[in-house]
């Protein structure tokens, strides 16, 4: 993992000191709430429905056991004994007190973490594939580049007051696990025709009220040009992004208004002016320095243990089911990647208690070389588990309720905090996820359904990524009541697409029933081991519409 | 109204005439882009020092060829949230090599001064009762920079010289 050096430590410590002063000015009334707002947002502090919420960065999803213990300490000391992992590799605390925030930031700084730019109209946390450095299909590890971008973006004097927030994701594998095409800027590490690895640059993806899949504006960019090209994109956006309408201020609106070609032309024109300036050069020594932090850990030279695991699996059906759902092949013999599901039945997706955090940290030390990852699907990952340890780890995870065998299945739900916490929400999201989790508990049935993602957002801002769920669920408010609009066919992968509206919205109680109907129809229609998404793409909306609403004309929605 | 330069309140020899219908005679003036475009010859003939006030949607490239006529370019922040002038200042300094005064005007708040300074602003029309105190308060906030913005402060990554884990 990356470690702060003296410069990084100083920068974060100064930031904490500055914010301490700003909070003091707010508490004495020297700053009004309106003046204070941009300052707290730049430090990750939101004012929510009931209290302040602090959003902490987990850069590109990498976390050490030591850091997780500190997150547990913060949850206990400053919050209500839990934290919530988000879709952008952040952790949120929902009950933070304003006057204690500087102490929380200092506690984070002590373990080389921060909440800088986790909100506000600036470059947000850089996100990446949670299997970076471990995945078998990886072309190149994205983490050193994420760290380079992180540093370039932090406290950028020119780009701290953008028209709107700006999210960057990086993947180094052909299978996209980081929703790269749904970001303001998405980067894929790719070889060019000569076999030299560079970046495919995608711009203008995003969700919210106006969802778009991003456009590729450069098929291949040399690595040494990364910062100058990003600076050119940000500059075109800073100058040309709309500032008159908050809903239209993201770069996706600018890109789609100009057209991707014209946007690319503007970026290239700017880039030509700055690409050779020394201010934006990427010194080889610096990228080598950063890359050295992501060197392979001290893996043991051990043989592949697939035969042992296969025997254990056939002896224990529950272990078999967990392996199939939650264990992923590792690029090194004798090791496996393990997903920890934060989606046990009845649990708010992404929540982890302080006690669970401490125990997970302990397990990470015992079983995963002290390191873990956070995924954009709101789960945790142990990246370096010896295959011979899988069964012991599984047993320990079961006792923590973190072994639900549902990764990628329909109970591995992404959900935003919704009306339970969020001031913007129209409807609750967490209880709907909990209901679905309770409705579909049969493990064998879930595995038969296979890969099927459900994403739930409590409002049009789409923090639960409903547009790109294979099944999306959007909370809407009608006459003071909560209803839910279903969409089908979304994907956040390399085959990214936006879901299509199924029909009229339904009540919360009807949601699990509707999903059951969709799943039943899918199982009747699928060919071979076709995924739900592929069946949907083949047969379209109509069969599912009929399954949910029947053949009769649509009736008025039932009152919830 | 206080104009801060290098942490000190300094007198402002310029009259901001950008909002005036009739331009005053015999004093150094800051004019709007429209005034400059319509009254250019008269302004040049006056022999007075000139400044230009640009709104946040008026990029400096519009006047790139005329920059030699101005001692001051005042860049406007209509709201502190409008960050376009940060880019404009860098363009003036780094691309157009403007060596005169770049002044921050409009909604200029204490907590934004550091970024403005790093982007090339050198004078600040700061809101509040004690602009010198505002400057002193933020002066030590950030000693490390991850970016080079033309102000000469080296990037952390250039200071490191490749020392690793």
**pLDDT by residue (tens digit) across A352-373?**
999 999 999 999 999 999 999 9
Among A399, A426, A442, the domain-final residue is A399
Assess whether A425 and A395 both reside in one domain.
no
Counting residues of chain B whose pLDDT is more than 70, the rounded percentage is 98
Write the Ramachandran bin of A84: left for phi over 0, alpha for psi from -120 to 50, otherwise beta. beta
**pLDDT by residue (tens digit) across A474-528?**
999 999 999 999 999 999 999 999 999 999 999 999 999 999 999 999 999 999 9
Residue B165 placed within a domain:
no
Asked if the Cβ–Cβ distance from A151 to B95 is below 8 Å, we say no
How many contacts does A have with B, using Cβ atoms within 8 A? 118
- Say which residue the tokens 């910062």 belong to: A227
pLDDT, average across residues A312-322: 97
Asked if the Cβ–Cβ distance from B87 to A155 is below 8 Å, we say no
Interface test with B, best of A40, A126, A149, A157 (most B CBs within 10 A): A157
Assess whether A351 and A449 both reside in one domain.
no
Assess whether A524 and A387 both reside in one domain.
no
Asked if the Cβ–Cβ distance from B163 to A161 is below 8 Å, we say no
Residue A507 placed within a domain:
yes
Number of separate domains in chain A? 3
pLDDT band for position B1 (cuts 50, 70, 90): low
pLDDT band for position A228 (cuts 50, 70, 90): very high
Write the Ramachandran bin of A452: left for phi over 0, alpha for psi from -120 to 50, otherwise beta. beta
Asked if the Cβ–Cβ distance from A288 to B142 is below 8 Å, we say no
pLDDT band for position B159 (cuts 50, 70, 90): confident
pLDDT value at residue B162: 61
Asked if the Cβ–Cβ distance from B144 to A7 is below 8 Å, we say yes
Distances (CA, A) of A136 to A330, A333, A425: 6, 11, 39
**Is residue A1 scored above 90 in pLDDT?**
yes
Residue A147 placed within a domain:
yes
Distance from CA of B147 to the nearest CA of A (A): 6
Number of separate domains in chain B? 1
**For residue A26, what are the contacts with CB-CB under 8 A and spacing of at least 6?**
A33, A36, A40, A98
State the DSSP H helix or E strand holding residue B163, giving kind and residue range, or none if neither. Answer: none
Distance from CA of A92 to the nearest CA of B (A): 25
Instruction: Give the domain CATH number at A346.
Output: 3.90.480.20
Cβ distance A236 to A264 under 8 Å?
Answer: no
**Residues B138/B140/B143/B146 CA torsion (nearest 10 deg):** -10
**pLDDT by residue (tens digit) across A250-262?**
999 999 999 999 9
Assess whether A326 and A383 both reside in one domain.
yes
Among A234, A266, A293, the domain-final residue is A293
Residue B164 placed within a domain:
no
Residue B116 placed within a domain:
yes
- What residues make up the domain containing B39? 2-159
Residue A39 placed within a domain:
no
B111 touches chain A (CB under 8 A): yes
Assess whether A461 and A431 both reside in one domain.
yes
Assess whether A434 and A540 both reside in one domain.
yes
B8 touches chain A (CB under 8 A): no
pLDDT band for position A424 (cuts 50, 70, 90): confident
Instruction: Give the domain CATH number at A206.
Output: 3.30.413.10
Residue B41 placed within a domain:
yes
**pLDDT by residue (tens digit) across A116-162?**
999 999 999 999 999 999 999 999 999 999 999 999 999 999 999 99
Please name the member of A14, A161, A283 whose beta carbon is closest to the beta carbon of B82: A161
pLDDT, average across residues A219-243: 97
pLDDT value at residue A319: 97
Report chain A residues whose CB lies below 8 A from the CB of B82: 161, 243
Interface test with B, best of A158, A246, A296 (most B CBs within 10 A): A158
Q: What's the whole-number average pLDDT of chain B?
A: 93
B136 touches chain A (CB under 8 A): no
**pLDDT by residue (tens digit) across B76-98?**
999 999 999 999 999 999 999 99
Please name which of B153, B21, B40, B158 lies closest in space to residue A282, comparing C-alpha atoms: B158
Instruction: Give the domain CATH number at B129.
Output: 3.20.20.70
A3 touches chain B (CB under 8 A): yes
Q: Strands A90-96, A82-85: parallel, antiparallel or unpaired by DSSP?
A: antiparallel
**Is residue A560 scored above 50 in pLDDT?**
no
Q: Three-state DSSP class for A212?
A: strand
Question: Nearest-CA residue of chain B relative to A164?
Answer: B81
Cβ distance A138 to A51 under 8 Å?
Answer: no
Please name the member of A21, A243, A289 whose beta carbon is closest to the beta carbon of B82: A243
- What residues make up the domain containing A364? 306-399
Report chain B residues whose CB lies below 8 A from the CB of A155: 115, 142, 145-147
Burial class (CB in 10 A: 0-12, 13-18, 19+), B84: buried
Question: Nearest-CA residue of chain B relative to A120?
Answer: B81
pLDDT value at residue A238: 98
Among A293, A314, A338, the domain-final residue is A293
B127 touches chain A (CB under 8 A): no
Please name the member of B109, B115, B159 whose beta carbon is closest to the beta carbon of A157: B115
Residue A385 placed within a domain:
yes
**CA–CA dist A352, A355 (Å, integer):** 8
Residue B83 placed within a domain:
yes
The pairs formed by A22-29 with CB atoms below 8 angstroms and a separation of 24 or more are A22/B111, A23/A98, A23/A99, A23/A101, A23/A102, A26/A98, A27/A98, A27/A99
- ipTM confidence score: 0.96
Residue A449 placed within a domain:
yes
**CA–CA dist A18, A25 (Å, integer):** 11
Residue A512 placed within a domain:
yes
pLDDT, average across residues A310-337: 97
Q: What's the whole-number average pLDDT of chain A?
A: 95
């Amino acid at each position: 993992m990356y470690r702060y050096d003296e410069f990084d430590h100083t920068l974060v410590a100064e930031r904490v000191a500055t914010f301490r002063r700003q909070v003091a000015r707010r508490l004495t009334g020297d700053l009004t709430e309106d003046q204070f707002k941009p300052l707290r947002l730049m430090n990750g502090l939101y004012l929510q429905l009931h209290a302040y919420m602090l959003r902490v960065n987990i850069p590109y999803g990498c976390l050490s056991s030591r850091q997780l213990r500190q997150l547990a300490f913060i949850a206990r000391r400053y919050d209500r004994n839990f934290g919530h992992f988000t879709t952008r590799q952040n952790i949120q605390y929902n009950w933070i007190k304003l006057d204690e925030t500087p102490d929380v930031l200092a506690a984070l700084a002590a373990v080389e973490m921060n909440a800088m730019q986790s909100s506000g109209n600036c470059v947000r946390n850089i996100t990446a594939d949670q299997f970076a450095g471990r995945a078998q299909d990886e072309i190149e590890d994205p983490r050193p580049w994420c760290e380079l971008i992180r540093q370039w973006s932090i406290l950028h004097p020119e780009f701290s007051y953008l028209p709107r927030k700006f999210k960057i994701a990086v993947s180094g594998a052909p299978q996209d696990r980081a929703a790269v095409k749904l970001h303001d800027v998405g980067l894929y590490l790719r070889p060019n025709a000569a076999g030299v690895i560079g970046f495919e640059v995608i711009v203008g993806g995003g969700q919210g009220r106006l969802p778009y899949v991003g456009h590729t504006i450069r098929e291949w960019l040399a690595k040494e040009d990364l910062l100058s090209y990003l600076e050119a994109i940000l500059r075109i956006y800073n100058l040309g992004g709309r500032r008159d309408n908050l809903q239209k201020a993201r770069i996706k609106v600018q890109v789609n208004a100009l057209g991707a070609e014209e946007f690319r032309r503007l970026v290239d024109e700017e880039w030509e002016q700055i690409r050779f300036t020394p201010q934006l050069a990427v010194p080889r020594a610096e990228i080598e320095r950063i890359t050295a932090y992501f060197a392979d850990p001290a893996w043991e030279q051990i043989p592949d243990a697939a035969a042992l695991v296969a025997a254990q699996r056939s002896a224990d059906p529950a272990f078999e089911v967990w392996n199939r759902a939650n264990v992923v092949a590792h690029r090194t013999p004798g090791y496996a990647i393990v997903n920890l599901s934060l989606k046990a039945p009845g649990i708010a997706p992404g929540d982890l208690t302080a006690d669970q955090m401490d125990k997970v940290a302990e397990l990470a030390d015992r079983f995963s070389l002290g390191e873990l990852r956070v995924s954009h699907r709101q789960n945790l990952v142990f990246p370096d588990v010896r295959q011979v340890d899988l069964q012991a780890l599984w047993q320990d995870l079961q006792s923590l309720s973190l072994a639900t065998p549902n990764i990628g299945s329909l109970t591995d739900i992404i959900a935003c905090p919704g009306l339970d916490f969020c001031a913007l929400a129209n409807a609750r999201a967490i209880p709907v996820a909990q209901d679905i989790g309770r409705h579909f508990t049969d493990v064998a049935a879930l595995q038969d359904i296979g890969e099927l993602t459900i994403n739930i957002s409590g409002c049009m801002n789409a923090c639960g990524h409903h547009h790109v769920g294979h099944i999306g669920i959007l909370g809407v408010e009608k006459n003071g009541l909560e209803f839910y609009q279903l969409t089908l066919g979304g994907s956040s992968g390399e085959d990214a697409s936006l879901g299509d509206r199924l029909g009229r919205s339904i009540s919360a109680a009807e949601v699990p029933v509707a999903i059951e109907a969709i799943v039943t129809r899918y199982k009747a229609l699928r060919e071979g081991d076709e995924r739900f998404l592929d069946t949907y793409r083949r047969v379209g909306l109509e069969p599912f519409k009929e399954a949910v609403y029947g053949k009769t004309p649509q009736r008025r929605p039932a009152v919830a | 109204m206080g104009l801060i330069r290098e942490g000190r309140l300094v007198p402002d020899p310029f009259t901001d005439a950008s909002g005036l219908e009739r331009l005053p005679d015999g004093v150094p003036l800051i004019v709007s882009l429209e005034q400059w475009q319509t009254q250019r010859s008269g302004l040049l003939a006056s022999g007075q020092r000139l400044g230009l006030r640009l709104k946040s949607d008026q990029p400096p490239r519009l006047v790139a060829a005329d920059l030699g006529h101005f001692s001051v370019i005042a860049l406007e922040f209509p709201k502190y949230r409008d960050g376009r002038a940060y880019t404009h200042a860098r363009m003036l300094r780094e691309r157009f090599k403007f060596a005169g005064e770049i002044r921050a005007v409009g909604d200029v708040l204490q907590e934004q001064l550091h970024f403005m300074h790093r982007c090339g602003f050198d004078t600040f029309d700061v809101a509040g009762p004690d602009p010198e105190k505002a400057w002193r308060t933020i002066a030590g906030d950030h000693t490390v920079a991850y970016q080079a913005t033309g102000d000469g402060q080296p990037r952390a990554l250039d200071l490191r010289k490749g020392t690793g884990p």
